[in-house]
Each structure stands twice: as structure tokens, then as C-alpha cells.
Amino acid sequence: MGSQRKTAVVTGASQGIGAGLVKAFVERGFNVVANSRKVTQSTEVADSDRVALVDGHIGEPTTAAKIVETALSRFQSIDALVNNAGIFFTKPFTDYTVDDFKSLVSTNVEGFLYVTQLVIKLNW
């Protein structure tokens, strides 16, 4: 891997698949920046010398910027990005409220867009 560890960013990292991804990246020698709205309260992911936790809603551009800033200041790079954050509703889409739709788009579309744009700009 060279002299510097690679760094992965994982959104939606506080539980389940996201937490599993954080663990898998660490086991493979990566540093990881883990994000979710309340990742610092997670019982599955903990801050360490190899894992940085960033609380915040990924659908907000300021959260994406904080993730990238954290990765660069703590680990000096971003080599992989996993856009794992996502929400769904267990009701028919015909029952979605305006707020449901806004929440869905904010997390699932805007969240993907903001962090991916910043990471791509760093690596091109």
C-alpha cells in the first residue's frame, strides 16, 4: 500500500451495512471517515486513530464539506467513497407527504451529489 494509508469515506456509517463497511475498510488497512446524522452516538462505530466520525445530515452541503475537510486534515487523502446513506418509507409513494419527498431527495440525491462532487474535484 505504500507509505501512506489510503482513506475511505463511508456515509450512512452508524449501523448495519455502513458500519460493516467501516470495519471492512479498517481491516484492509484503510483510514476511514464515517458519517451519519449521529455517528458519534453509534454503538457499532467508534472514533480511533484510524476512524474519524463526522456527524451531520449528508443532504446539506456543509456536511459534505466537513467530511472532506476531516479526511484531508486527519488522513491527507480520499481514495474511496461509499455513498451508503439512504432512506426509504414503508408506505406507498402515493401516500408520501411533501416533507417525505423533500427528505427522500435531500438524503438520497442531494447527499450523493454534494459529497461526490467534492471528492471527484480532489482526485481529478
Residue 46's closest CA among 56, 34, 58? 34
pTM across the whole model: 0.94
Give the position of cell 486527519. 74
Query: pLDDT category, 124, cuts 50, 70, 90?
Result: confident
Residue type, 3: S
Q: What is the pLDDT of residues 44-61, one digit of tens each?
A: 999 999 999 999 999 999
Give the tens place of pLDDT for each residue, 104-122.
999 999 999 999 999 999 9
Centroid of chain to Cα 115: 8
